[in-house]
A and B are shown apart, each in its own frame.
Chain A
Amino acid sequence: MIEQHAIALVVVVPLLAAPLCVLTGRGRWAWTVATAAVWSSFALALHLVQRVLSEGPITYAMGGWQPPVGIEFRLDAAGALVMLVITGIATIVAPYARKSVEREVDDFRQHRFYACLLLCLCGLLGMTITADAFNLFVFLEISSLSTYALVAMGRDRRAFTAAFRYLLIGTVGATFYLLGIGFLYILTGTLNMADMAERLVQPAWDGEGLVHQTRTARAAFAFLTVGLSMKIAIWPLHLWLPNVYAYAPSAVSAFLSATATKVAVLVLLRMFYTVDGLAAPFSTLPVADTLVPLAIIGALGTSILAIYQDDLKRALAYSSVAQVGYIVLGIGLASTAGLSASLLHLFNHALMKGALFCAMGCIVYRVGSTRINAVRGVGRSMPWTTAALLLGGLSLIGVPLTAGFTSKWALVSAILEQERWFTAALMLVSSLLAIIYVGRIIGIVLLSKRPRGAPQVGEAPAWMVAPTLVLALLNLYFGIASDTSSELALRAAQALEEVAR
C-alpha cells in the first residue's frame, strides 16, 4: 500500500502530523512527532526519487478522479531533485531545531512552532509535486502563511516587521499568480498543467491564431513571472528577503534559505516548460532577455551589499539573493547546459546556505545574536561551528573540491558555450565579491580577538553541531563525488525539456 501511495503520503504525512503536534500541546512531544514525520517523509522521498530515475514520472489521481476532472500529482526528475533537497534539509534541520528552538522560542509556543514548520514543509512539497495550477496556489499559500508565522516567532521585534512585509509582498505575488492562472483558465478551460499545455497550441476561441499567441496568454505569463519572481526574490523584488532570513529563528532561517526560494524557481520552470512548453516560450516570449540582466545586476548589487552588513545573518541573506541570481541566470540562458547548471546550483546552494545558517544558529545559541560586535572572536572557542562555517564559506565562494565549485563551473561553461564573454566576466566579478564577504565573516568570527570583557563562550550543544557538520561535510562530498548531483541535475533538466518537446 505504501509503495502505491508514496507520492501522496510524502505530502500527507507532514500535513497530518501538524495537527498531531498541536494536540500534544508540549514542545518536546511536538518535536518528536515532527521529527518522526519529517524523517518518514524523507524516506518516502528517497524511495520516490529512485523510482522516478529508474522508471520515469509517477502520477497519482487524488480522490480517484482522473485528470483533468480531478487533481493530479506528478513527479518527474525535476520535481524529484527539488523534493530531495526539501526533505533532506528538513531531515537535518529537525534534530537541530530541538535545542535551538528551546532557546529561541517561548515554551508555550513551541508546539505551534513545529506545527507551522511541518505545514511549511507540506506546502513546499505540494508545490513541487502537484500538476494542477490552482492546487499549486493552495500549497503556495500553506507554505507562505506558515512561513509568516514562523518568521514572526523570532526574538527581535524586527521579526514582526519582516514577517509583515513578507506577508504583503507574498500575498501580492500569490494574487498575481492567481490572476495569471485565471487568464490561462479562461483561455483553456482547464487547470491541469499538461492539459493546459496542449490547449495552448490549439486555435484560439475566436479562430484568430493559436491560443498562446493571444494577448491574454502573453499577459498571463507576464503575471505568473512577476508573481513568482516576488517569491524567488529576483532583484529588484528581493527587498523582503534579507530581514526575513536575518530575524527569523535560526532553525527557520536554515530551512527557508535552503528550500523556499528553490521551490518557487521550480514553479517558474514548470510554467515555462510544462505549461507553455509546447509553444517554445523562450523564442516567443521575452523571458531570457529580461531574466539575464536582472540576474546579473542582482548578483553584483547584492554581493556588494553583503559586504557592508553589520549583522552576519543579514550578510548571508544578501548573499542568498546573489546566489538566486546565478540560478535565474542559468534559466535565462535557455539551453540544456544552462538549465542543468542552474538546477545543480539550486541543489548545491541549499547545502551551503543550510550549513552556513545552521552555523549562525550555533553562534546565536551561545552569544544571543549575530551582530559583528557580539560575535567577534567567538570562533576560537567554537571549533566545530567554525569548521562548518569555513567549509560552507569555501563552497559559497566556489573553491575547487567543494560543491559550490562544480555548479559555478557548470554555469560558467554554459555561459561560455553561448560565447557571452561579458556575462561570464561579470559573473566572475561577483564571485570575487563573494571572497570578500565570506572572508570578512571568517575574519570576524575566527581571526579577530574576543574583546575584553565580552563573555567567554563554549561550543554549541551536540544536537546542533552535529547536523551543522553533516551539512558542511555534504558540501565536500558533493564537491568530490559531483557525478551524482550533476547526473541528477542533468536528468532533471532533460525531464523539463522533454515535456516541452
Chain B
Amino acid sequence: MAQIIDIVLLVFLCTVAVATVRMRDLFGIAMLFGIFSLLSASVFVVLDAGDVAMTEAAVGAGLTTILMLSTLAATGSRAHPRAVRWKLPLFVVTVTGAALVYATTDMPRFGDPNAPVQTHPVAKHYIETSQEETGIPNMVTPLLASYRGFDTLGETAVVFTAGIGVLALIGRRRKKDGTPVDENHGEDIRAEHHAVVRVVGKILIPAILLYACYIQAHGDFGPGGGFQAGVVFASGLMLYLLLFGVAAAARVAPFAVLERLIALGLLLYGGIGVLNMMLGGNFLDYRTLAENAKDGLHYGIILIELGVGITVAAVVTTLVFAFADHLQRGPVHRQD
C-alpha cells in the first residue's frame, strides 16, 4: 500500500516539475510550485517525517507561495516569451545529474536498516538514550532543541537575518505613528466589502491564533514546536491583512513593534544560553536550569521554543506585511 502511494506521489511530483519548467505564465509557475511543495510534504509523511511535512506545508507551500504571489502582484506576471537558452544549462544539468546518479550507485538501498545512518551510535542515542535523558516522546524535539540546539539557534539567526534584511531592502521611512513618510501610489489589498468573507474571517482569526499556541505547546508530544507555531500565528495576522488592508493591519501589528519582537525572540534564545554559562554549564546546557537535569531540559526547551516562536511569527508577519506595503506604495521609478 505504502509503495502504491509512494509511486503515485512520485509521478505527480515529476509531472508538476516538468510542467513548472515548461510554463510561461508566472502566476501559474508560482501556483505549480505551491502544489509541488505540498506534494513533497506528503512524501515527507510517507517517509515518517511528520515535523518536516508540517514545516514544508506551512513554509514551502504556504509562505513561499504567498511571497511569490505578492511579488508578482507588484511586478506583473508576464515573462517575455523569448528564445530560451538551453544548450549550456542542459549540459551542466546533465553532468550534475550524472554525478549524482553515479554517487547513488554505491549507496545503501532505500530503507536499509543496516545502513550506516541507522547503525551509527548517534542514531541509537537519539532514538533510545534520549528517552532516558529527556523523557520527551517526540524524538525530533530534544534533538532539535537540545542535542543540536546550537543549529536551531543559528537557524533562528537566519530567520532574523531574513526579516531584518527584507526590512532593510523594502522597508520605508516611517513617522512616529508608523505611517510611511512617502505617498502611496498603489492599491491597498482588502476584502472588506465582502460581508461573508469578513464575518467568517473574523471568527477564524482567534481560532487560528489559539491553534498556534496549541502547536507551540504540543511540540513535546507530536509534530509541532516554535517554527510551525510561529508560521501559523502569523497566518492569523495575514488573514487580518487580507480582510482589512495593510494600513489597518499595521496598526494592529506596527512594523516598529514587529522589528523589536524579531530581535527579542533571538535574544531570548541566546540569553538562555548565556544564563546556562552563568549557572556553570556550557552554552545552551539547559540541564543547569533546575536541580533535576530532566526538569532543566524541559524548562530550557520550552523557553527556547518560545524564543523561536516569537522570532518566526514576527518575521513571517513582517515579510508578508512588507511585501503588501510595497505593493501599496506602488510603482515608483527610481534612477540611481
Contact = CB atoms under 8 A, between A and B. Distances in A.
The reply, when asked whether chain A contacts chain B directly with Cβ atoms under 8 A, is yes
B168 A116 contact: yes
Given A20-B267, A63-B284, A152-B168, 11 more contacts: A8-B277, A19-B160, A60-B283, A63-B282, A65-B147, A113-B168, A119-B161, A122-B157, A149-B169, A189-B116, A189-B117
Contact of A62 (B107, B157, B160, B283): B283
Shortest 5 CB-CB contacts between residues of A and residues of B: A189-B120, A149-B165, A219-B103, A64-B285, A19-B263
A18 B104 CA distance: 41
Interface string A194-223: 000001000011100000001111111011
Interface string A140-160: 011001101100110111000
Interface residues of B, number: 67
B173 interface: yes
Interface stretch (A104-112, A277-285, A401-409, A439-447): A104-112
A197 to B, nearest CB: 14
A53 interface: no
30 contacts: A5-B282, A15-B153, A19-B264, A20-B267, A62-B149, A62-B282, A63-B284, A63-B285, A65-B146, A70-B148, A71-B148, A108-B173, A116-B165, A138-B155, A139-B154, A145-B162, A149-B164, A157-B334, A179-B100, A186-B107, A186-B115, A187-B107, A187-B116, A205-B108, A205-B116, A216-B103, A216-B105, A216-B106, A217-B106, A219-B102
B226 to A, nearest CB: 16
A131 to B, nearest CB: 12
Contacts of B148: 70-71, 135
B169 A22 contact: no
B291 interface: no
A190 interface: yes
Interface string B240-272: 000000000000000010011011101100110
A64 B270 contact: no
Contacts of A217: 106
B168 to A, nearest CB: 4
Contacts of B114: 205
Nearest to B153: A15
Contacts of A183: 103, 107
B66 interface: no
B167 interface: yes
A21 to B, nearest CB: 8
Contacts of B11: none
B174 A108 contact: yes
Contact of A12 (B106, B165, B171, B283): B283
B164 A116 contact: yes
A220 B100 CA distance: 9
B274 interface: yes
A126 interface: yes
B270 A15 contact: yes
A115 interface: yes
A189 B283 CA distance: 25
B263 A215 contact: no
Interface of B is mostly: helix
B147 A148 contact: no
Contacts of A69: 122, 125-126, 147
Interface string B114-154: 11111111110110000000000000000000111111011
A61 interface: yes
Contacts of B286: 63
Contacts of B267: 16, 19-20, 23
A468 interface: no
B278 interface: yes
A122 B158 CA distance: 11
A438 to B, nearest CB: 29
Given A148-B165, A186-B107, A63 B120 contact: no
Contact of A216 (B104, B160, B161): B104
A12 B102 CA distance: 41
A39 interface: no
A199 B121 CA distance: 12
Contacts of B116: 186-189, 199, 205
A301 to B, nearest CB: 19
Contacts of B122: 68-69, 189-190
B87 to A, nearest CB: 17
A264 B144 CA distance: 26
Contact of A153 (B160, B161, B168, B256): B168
Nearest to A135: B151
B103 A22 contact: no
A145 B270 contact: no
A25 interface: yes
A393 to B, nearest CB: 29
A187 B106 CA distance: 9
Contacts of B146: 63, 65
A134 interface: yes
A29 interface: no
B283 A22 contact: no
Contacts of A60: 282-283
Contacts of B274: 12, 16
B336 A156 contact: yes
A201 B69 CA distance: 49
A215 B165 contact: no
B165 A135 contact: no
A110 to B, nearest CB: 9
A142 B174 contact: no
A20 B147 contact: no
B157 A15 contact: yes
A108 B108 CA distance: 54
Given A8-B283, A186-B108, A16 B103 contact: no
B107 A134 contact: no
Given A64-B282, A69-B125, A126-B154, A16 B271 contact: yes
Nearest to A156: B336
A190 B121 CA distance: 9
B100 A62 contact: no
B336 A20 contact: no
Contact of A155 (B105, B167, B264, B336): B336
Contacts of B287: 64
B256 A25 contact: yes
Nearest to B336: A157
Contacts of B222: none
A284 to B, nearest CB: 15
B151 A134 contact: yes
Contacts of A112: 164-165, 167-168, 171
Contacts of B119: 189
A113 B149 CA distance: 27
Interface in B176-204: none
Residue among A60, A122, A142, A220 with the highest chain B CB neighbour number at 10 A = A142
B281 interface: yes
